[in-house]
Structure 1
Amino acid sequence: MVGVITTLKDAEISAVVDSDGRSLACHVDQRPPGISLRQCLVSAFRPTNETGNFWTHFLPIFVFAFHFLEVFTWEGVPEPSNPFFYPFWNYFLGVLYLLLASSLAHLLNSMSLIIREICFFVDYGTISAYTVGSSLAYYYYIHPQAGIPDFGFKGQNSTQRKSLNADEEGWHSASSPTQFQLFFESLYIPSSCLVAIICVLICCNTRQCWRKYRYAVRTLVFLLPFFISSTPIFYRLQSPSASSLSSSSPQLFSTMAAFFYRHCFWLVVSAIFNISKIPERFSPGNFDIWGHSHQWFHCCTFLSILDELQMIKVEMRALLLNPTLILSPATPPRLPGPTLWSTYGVMVFLQGCIACIIALFGWQAYQIYGPEQKKLKGH
């Protein structure tokens, strides 16, 4: 029957584990390479080593979408197509691609050795795209008054808006920009894109090189985009006065900081699970279906994304609903507001670069696994 999957047991795993790259800590119910698309889809509902890996990133798509769309129910917000939301939609696409690619990579990777490699190349690419989506959201929402112009939000007339205080006027002053301002205005987004591309190259390379330390390399390599993309938040945390616009801003600032610290906490916990391979390292065979480290890694990374989303929403609510946080029309922003080219254009360009990298490594995978795949089909 087409829908029946014969999973590998202990005695059979050693024959494929080296070439297939499966975890030695997983002892039973591993899907064999070379199964059909239909069998892969059916395996999502059967107890295999990839079942939990699929669901722990597929179900969060709907949870994330629910919390994301909640923004558009706020009173007085502009239409979803308003340029104000361009960075937010790009952030949504980055997270969607990450969760969808991760879940499908785990679901479809047993179709062939070549498809397995390509699935995870795409997975690494979407992680990098997500970091740039986060950077776009940070660029326009997290940094104090970073180029969000007046889009004519409902319920906020010009008499309600207050001018910026001395701290904000200092930021917009063109006479003496600081080094951070120059970096942020000129290099922040390009740096995020460059680092994302470097991360894809390194992670894809770990499929063949540095295999002994591949999990540590893949985990540590994403520290760089984290630090680059989080630059606006570090600035806010080190310069609280930059957000002191009203008596309510300290509460807003502390809320943003709390979500960021939780975001970091879940990232650290996810890294520990990914590198240590706990709990299956200490109890091989008992966590093959549910509860192994990669599933906890998935859960923790999603919790970090959820806290990141809440952090961004806090800043967006402040910009949208608090008149004292809207730029005065008399004080033009130093940074340009979001446009199609500066948001969607950046993501399309990045995706094109990542697609070229995936194509290159995919061709290399074909050269390596093509002959072996033909042998498997011959049997």
Structure 2
Amino acid sequence: MLLNCGQPLPLLRHTDVPPRVIENFILTGYRFPNYSLRECLLSAFRPTNETGNFWTHFLPVFIFFYYFMEVFGWDGAPHSDAPFFYPLWNYFIGVFCLLMASSMAHLLNSMSLVVREVCFFVDYGTISAYTVGSSLAYYYYIHPRAGIVETGEHNISHMDLKHEPTRVPVSSYAIPEFSVFFETLYIPCTCAVAIICVISCCNTRLKWKQHRYIIRTFVFLLPFLSSSTPVFYRLFTKSPYSTTSASFVTSSTMSKFFYHHCLWLLVSAVFNISKFPERLAPGRFDIWGHSHQWFHCFTFLSILDELHMIKAEMRAILLSPTLLLPPATLSHLPGPTIASTYGVMLLLQTTIISIILWFSWHANCIYGPQRDQLAKERPKKHLKCQ
């Protein structure tokens, strides 16, 4: 009599799975394509070559949330649903989607060859959404410094200048050319770059497969450079705060966190491209310690330092109330609104979803027949028990 003994399907070697599933230098620990949803979920608690990939981005969700919620307990901070926090919530959406999509992609990609492709298309899409979420935070918490001018008496914002047109600044903190870029092109450019990155990375799963890791790594170097423009601006210009102010002390930590952010990104890129250490000892790091797990760890460290950098800038602003620019103002640097934050993210996500659907349709055309064939050859779960 055939009984369902509840035994998990056997893990396979790289010679026993479709070529599309094989990862470089990973020889064992493969799950058979056409796992059920339940089997995929249970595999999170079973040592496979994807288990570490899942946990190294799933657990960080809770760590990130802990440090994120800290800002709402600051003295003098507005309510959590205040417009001042709109960019921060969009940043949270970007990071949360990135970490969850990445962990779920590694957990669920054995359901079928088509599902595998769709999982990683979604993963690439959320990376771009995270980039734009970061850009919104940079724009509203770091970019306003481009709107500060230094007078002979004290620093004031464009909002203050509007009510005092006769005051002539002695020296300008803002560089006019950069102000034009920030006010009109910065957010549209980061969105355009994000969309280009999604298309390029999705293409590496259908074309350019031989150099896919290098392409994916360098494709995301461009959005880092474009989104970090406000940070570079701050690093190469004079601080808008008085050197004796609490805001100056708080804001001065921004550079340290940004350099750490860059360092972790660089280290993660090295692991992603080099496939170290499994390249040196194929088969030894199949389950734990292979490059993609280290890539996940260092990527999260970069996100955590980025969060600390944003929080430092937010704290500096809150310690200088004149820098808070409410949505109602008609200044050159209006504060965050629903349309300029959530609206931008919604439009971007809609565009990304359309791109993912288009690539998913093509993936189904390519891998659909193989999926059906593998479903017929799937090992039986029912084993004969005594």
The TM-score with structure 1 as length reference comes to 0.88
Name the structure 1 match of 2:8: 5
1:134 lines up with 2:126 in the alignment: no
Alpha-carbon separation, structure 2, partners of 1:244 and 1:129? 35
Is 1:56 the counterpart of 2:59? The answer is: no
Q: Which runs of 5+ in 1 are unaligned?
A: 149-161
| Cα separation, 2, equivalents of 1:91 and 1:18 | 37
Partner in structure 2 of residue 74 of structure 1: 74
Percent pairwise identity: 61
**Distance (whole Å) between structure 2 residues aligned to residue 207 and residue 297 of structure 1:** 19
Partner SS for 1:133: helix
1:315-330 to 2 correspondences below 5 Å: 315-323=313-321, 325-326=323-324
Whichever residue aligns with residue 105 of structure 1, its letter is A
Q: Which residue of 2 aligns with 1:207?
A: 205
Structure 1 distance, partners of 2:155, 2:25, is: 61
Provide the rounded CA distance (Å) in 2 between the counterparts of 1:7 and 1:209. Answer: 31
Shift of 1:16: 2.5
Shift of 1:69: 0.3
Decide which of 305, 308, 311 is 2:309's aligned counterpart.
311
Task: Kindly report the root-mean-square deviation, in angstroms, between the aligned alpha carbons of the 2 structures.
Answer: 2.6
User: Quick check: 1:88 aligned with 2:91?
Assistant: no
Corresponding letter in the other structure for 2:23: S
Distance 1:378 1:50, change over 3 A: same
Amino acid at match of 1:264: C
**Which residue of the partner structure matches residue 337 of structure 1?**
335
Per-residue CA deviations over 1:125-150 (Å, capped at 9, x if unaligned) read 000000000000000001244689xx
Distance (Å, rounded) in 2 between the aligned partners of 1:81 and 1:244: 30
Q: Relative to 1, partners in 2 of residues 1:124 and 1:78: Cα closer, same or farther, differing over 3 Å?
A: same
Superposed, 1:186-197 pairs within 5 Å as: 186-197=184-195
Superposed, which structure 2 residues align to 1:18-29 within 5 Å?
Answer: 18-20=19-21, 22-29=22-29
Name the residue aligned to 1:40: 40
Shift in Å at residue 28 of structure 1? 1.4
**23-32 or 359-368: bigger deviation:** 23-32
Q: Please say which of residues 366-375 and 1-10 is displaced more in the overlay.
A: 1-10
Compute the displacement of 1:322 (Å): 3.5
Larger Rg: 2
TM-score normalized with structure 2 length: 0.87
Secondary structure of 1:187's partner? helix
**How far off is 1:107 after superposition?**
0.3
CA contact (8 A) 1:259 1:311 kept: yes
Q: Contact 2:261–2:302 at 8 Å: present in 1 too?
A: yes
CA contact (8 A) 1:164 1:327 kept: no
Number of aligned residue pairs: give it.
359
Alignment of 1:94-173 (within 5 A): 94-145=94-145, 164=156
Quick one: which amino acid aligns to residue 281 of structure 1? R
How far apart in 2 are the matches of 1:247 and 1:128? 37
Matches of 2:376 and 2:319 in 1, distance apart?
65
1:296 aligns with one of 282, 285, 294: 294
**Which is worse superposed, 253-262 or 197-206?**
253-262
Counterpart check, 1:14 vs 2:15? yes
Residues 178-237 of structure 1 deviation map (CA, whole Å, 9 limit, x = unaligned) = 221111100000000000000000000000211111001000000110011000000000
| Deviation digits for residues 160-184 of structure 1 (CA, Å, limit 9, x no counterpart) | xx75189x9699x99x972211111
Mapped to 2, the partners of 1:244 and 1:365 lie a distance apart of: 57
Residue 242 of structure 1 and its aligned partner are, at CA, apart by 4.0
SS in 2 for 1:24: coil
Paired with 1:52 and 1:82, the residues of 2 have a C-alpha distance of 38
Instruction: Give the counterpart letter for 1:132 in structure 2.
Output: V
Contact kept, 8 Å, 2:275 with 2:291, in 1: the verdict is: yes
Structure 2 stretches of 5 or more lacking a match? 149-153, 162-167, 378-386
Distance apart, 1:321 and its partner CA? 2.7
Match for residue 356 of structure 2?
Answer: 358
> How many angstroms does 1:314 deviate by?
0.3
Say whether the 8 Å CA contact 1:97–1:130 is kept in structure 2.
yes
1:163 and 1:324 in contact (8 A); partners too:
no
CA apart distance, 1:240? 2.3
Distance 2:107 2:249 in 1: 43
Provide the C-alpha distance between the structure 1 equivalents of 2:108 and 2:44, rounded to a whole number of angstroms. Answer: 10
Aligned with 1:44: secondary structure? helix
- Residue identity opposite 1:278 in structure 2: F
Q: Distance in 2 between matches of 1:294 and 1:19?
A: 17
- Work out the CA distance in 1 between the residues paired with 2:12 and 2:75: 57
Q: Secondary structure at the match of 1:164?
A: strand
Secondary structure of 2:334's counterpart equals coil
CA distance in 1, matches of 2:336, 2:243: 22
Q: Could you tell me how far 1:288 is from its partner in structure 2?
A: 1.1
Q: Residues 2-54 of structure 1: CA distance to partner in whole angstroms, max 9, x if unpaired?
A: 854324433xx22434132x213111111110110000000000000010000
| Deviation (angstroms), 1:290 | 1.0
**Which amino acid is 1:284 matched to?**
P
- Whether the 8 Å CA contact 1:132–1:347 is kept in 2: the answer is yes
